[in-house]
Amino acid sequence: MNILEANQIQKSYGNKFNKQEVLRGVSLSIEKGEFVSIMGASGSGKTTLLNVLSSIDKVSNGTIKIEGSEITGMREKQLAQFRKNNLGFIFQDYNLLDTLTVKENILLPLSITKTPRKEAESRFTRIANELGIYEIKDKYPNEISGGQKQRTSAARAFIHEPSIIFADEPTGALDSKSASDLLNKLSSLNETLAATILMVTHDPLAASYCSRVIFIKDGQIYTQLNKGEQDRQHFFQDIMKTQGILSGVQYEH
């Protein structure tokens, strides 16, 4: 079952006299429970693609369906409601509220949807334990590490059980150990909750945690890699090779 379907997505900026085409007819689908990465060089269109797929930005042409609902035709109020109920977001810069505790930040999406307190507490306990941040639930963002902030951000994205979670360079501001911790947790949640995750990253190591990698070049899909039955180390090597070909660099073992 496809959670997300994008058909001939185009995105351009400017006017007819000075138009910049960023996405040039991208079509893709994401199945329920997939953990997919989008990779590409700076300026390739990968972040723009994530933005239009996640409704942060609007397409110039084409259609996007999430859970069978075409979001490209929604009005802003309808889109805001859909986003609140169906989408989760993890950003590179955490986007936590400094005046709220870790627990309060995580529970924010449930307070907006008026989830019963008992259910909210149950969901919080489960997700905070899964991400290893239950013990810091009463601390404020300025009292915790970057890795803990990003895991708090991830918990907030998962707490309302969205149809799909969009992650924009989630490891970009983290050291290697914190990045590895986060990716292991995301991979685990992808498996245990059958959560669907679409992640933009420039890091082949981060992409190797995914089940599929989509490579973007000049606003179009260049190629895709499926992990299949191979282990993460071999998948990482395949990603490195493809990234090298994409950038014109010869890859060597």
- Kindly write down the DSSP assignment for every residue of 202-253, as one continuous string: S-HHHHTTSSEEEEEETTEEEEEEE-TTS-HHHHHHHHHHHHHHHHTPPP--
Helices (H) and strands (E) in the chain, counts: 8, 10
Could you tell me whether strands 18-31 and 164-168 are parallel, antiparallel, or unpaired per DSSP bridges?
A: unpaired
Query: How high is the pLDDT of residue 169?
Result: 94
Output the CA–CA distances (angstroms, integers) from residue 171 to 19, 49, 90, 154, 206, in the order listed. 33, 19, 10, 11, 8
- C-beta neighbour count of 21 within 10 angstroms: 15
Query: How high is the pLDDT of residue 42?
Result: 86
Residues of the chain scoring pLDDT < 70: 249-253
Query: How do the domains of the chain map onto residue ranges?
Result: 33-58+75-247
CA gap 165, 167 in Å, rounded = 6
33-58+75-247: CATH homologous superfamily?
P-loop containing nucleotide triphosphate hydrolases (3.40.50.300)
CA gap 168, 206 in Å, rounded = 12
CB-CB contact of 87 with 79 (8 Å): no
